[in-house]
Amino acid sequence: MSKPVIGITCNTLLAEGTLLPGMIRAFVSTDYIQSVVQAGGIPLLLPSVTDPTIARSQLMAIDGLVMSGGPDIDPSLYGEEPLEKLGVVNPLRDEYELVIVKEAAELKKPVLGICRGIQIINVAYGGTLYQDVSQIPDCTIKHFQSTTQREALWHTVSIEPKSVLTTILGQSAIRVNSYHHQAVKTLAPGFMATAISTDSVIEAIELQNEHFVLGVQWHPEMLAEKSSTMLALFEKLVCEAANNR
């Protein structure tokens, strides 16, 4: 049987300082592509489009979905005004990814959300976000790591024992990297927080009693090449994708 096709959502970038300044480009870090390949899937990049029927057709062409990292989510999408520490938002990508998460839910496609991915999943299913971790009462850890080594692990998360994440990682606590300044605030209905940092920031969420939808706040794609633990997240997605065809 052929390998499952794994869609990866893309960023858009206004390319200045290049040979063609002003061009808008669709792109994703190659770490996502490599991680899917290494896990046994066929990576397929999904650019943001405005037409929901095209988004649906994109989903019909894939067996599983990676919601990749990227810019902040417009807080109006979860009923808040923009606060001072909100970063740049990308309305096209927000609109597209909300459609694609909801379509994936309807078609029961397995989903792995990474960084922005966990956040857009939570918003799409009705949850809210902290626009900046400084809003979190007990947040004391620096969640945007400052290291010269990109693969460096940065902080600890504890894993909920009765979770899919535990079965994937096989550990009750792990060290993760951390490149985020937003985080899940109110958990979306139907989800459980399955990893939490020592300062109480939600670092993973899972849809309960449904098909596979898992979001992590860290970046396993940056670590999967050398870490079988982090690669296991992608292998789980590929396995679910193969089983759900």
Contact residues for Mn ion, defined by CB under 5 A: 143, 178
Residue pair 113/121 in contact (Cβ under 8 Å)? The answer is: yes
Q: Which of 143, 155, 180, 219 is catalytic?
A: 219
Question: Which of 178/182 has CB closer to Mn ion?
Answer: 178
Q: 188: which residues sit within 8 A by CB, 6+ positions away?
A: 121, 122, 123, 124, 125, 126, 127, 205
**Is 225 annotated in the active site?**
no
Question: Which of 27/144 has CB closer to Mn ion?
Answer: 144
**Is 10 annotated in the active site?**
no
Question: Which of 78/130 has CB closer to Mn ion?
Answer: 130
Question: Minimum CB separation from Mn ion for residue 177, in Å?
Answer: 8
DSSP letter at 11 equals E
Mapped onto helix, strand or coil, the DSSP state of residue 91 is: helix
Helix (H) or strand (E) holding 44: strand 42-46
Q: Which of 97, 221, 239, 240 is catalytic?
A: 221
Residue pair 221/35 in contact (Cβ under 8 Å)? The answer is: yes
Question: Minimum CB separation from Mn ion for residue 143, in Å?
Answer: 4
**Is 203 annotated in the active site?**
no
* Nearest residue relative to Mn ion (C-beta): 178
Question: Which of 143/236 has CB closer to Mn ion?
Answer: 143
User: What is the spatial distance between Cα 157 and Cα 142, in angstroms, rounded to a whole number?
Assistant: 13
Residues noted as catalytic? 115, 219, 221
